[in-house]
Structure 1
Amino acid sequence: MEKRGKVWLAVSGLVTTGDGRWLVVKKKYGGLKGKWSLPAGFVNAGETVDQAVQREVLEETGIETELVGMLGMRSGVIRGDISDNMILFALQAKHENIVCQDKELFEARFLHPENILRDGDASVLIRHLVEALPKARLRLDDRVNPGDHFGYTAYHLFLP
């Protein structure tokens, strides 16, 4: 926790296949240990949130993705002290050849949402997404430059 400070920024990717299956993982640690959840991780210095989610999915599962859009955000405060924020993205799988990172994960699979719900190991977030997945997505617009005087090397807007 010390390394991240008291404001955390994480990303998570809902990766889907053409036939509607979702990429889900079972983590070996933390509050989601043994639960089906989405590939996720922290944003590193020097990357945008959309770059971070694609990197995290690739690192954890070996799946390369195409960005579809932003689904939403969850934000919470841990023990009245740490601001824990996660941006949720919709991604499309470019292939289905999973290479599970066994250091962090028990397993990774593509499953149909209804099968995930039938499994008692689905996380609260997964259950909510299956039941209430919004149809609208915020799309990436990386053509905007707010001005060279700001010094941005990357500037990504997500708009309807």
Structure 2
Amino acid sequence: MSSREKRGKVWLAVAGLVKSKDGQWLVVKKRYGGLKGQWSLPAGFVEAGETADEAVIREVWEETGIKCQVKGFMGLRTGVIKGEISDNLLHFLLEPIEEGEVIHQENELFEARFMAPEELLLEKDSSVVLQYLIKNNVSFSKPGVNDLNPGDQFGYTAYKLFF
């Protein structure tokens, strides 16, 4: 079964805008997919049993070796692929817990590193989303709320709001 078949026709993925203390952004250059060879944010699919904010922390760490914490939710990119697949990507703002060496995941990425947003704008290989975020100075986020319980009848083992 291919990864496309495993996910079905509704996809939920996450991307993380990781900003260093000096304002640089953590970006990756993928080896596959529609963003092959382009600078983009670390991203990946939400897996069973995890919240979206847990998924973005895992994906950033797996792709770059950088441990982060979520500062908040930024927004949603949503689209339909070939009239049938609902493709949804939640964007989170993150900060490194400790700024260590960036180590990229060899089988998925050509490269990963921190770059200044101004430098990324000049790169011909920056993704459309990166260009949009930089040109429109999008970096606001909504922090998460962890201490709510909608009721035991739902059986949530994790429940968070980002409003």
Please classify the TM superposition score into its range, dividing by the shorter chain length: over 0.9
Structure 1 residue 33, shift from structure 2 partner: 0.5
Identify which of 107, 122, 127 aligns with 1:123: 127
Structure 1 residue 135, shift from structure 2 partner: 4.7
Task: Give the aligned partner of residue 22 of structure 2.
Answer: 19
Question: Aligned with 2:132: secondary structure?
Answer: helix
Task: Give the aligned partner of residue 141 of structure 2.
Answer: 137
Q: What is the TM-score of this pair, normalised by structure 2?
A: 0.95
Structure 2: tracts of 5 or more residues without a match: none
Taking a change above 3 Å as real, the CA distance of residues 135 and 105 of structure 1, as seen in their structure-2 partners, is: closer
Structure 1: tracts of 5 or more residues without a match: none
Equivalenced residue count is: 159
Matches of 1:158 and 1:38, distance apart in 2 = 20
Percent identity reads 57
Identify which of 69, 93, 104 aligns with 1:90: 93
Identify which of 64, 67, 88 aligns with 2:67: 64
Structure 1 residue 138, shift from structure 2 partner: 1.1
Corresponding position: 1:7 with 2:29: no
Task: Give the aligned partner of residue 108 of structure 1.
Answer: 112
Q: What is the TM-score of this pair, normalised by structure 1?
A: 0.97
Matches of 1:119 and 1:77, distance apart in 2 = 28
Given that 2:93 and 2:139 are in contact with CA atoms closer than 8 Å, whether structure 1 keeps it comes out as no
Q: Which runs of 4+ in 1 moved over 6 A?
A: none
Given that 2:133 and 2:139 are in contact with CA atoms closer than 8 Å, whether structure 1 keeps it comes out as no
Question: Please, what is the CA RMSD of the aligned residues?
Answer: 0.8
Deviations 1:80-107 (A, max 9, x none): 0000000000000121311110000000
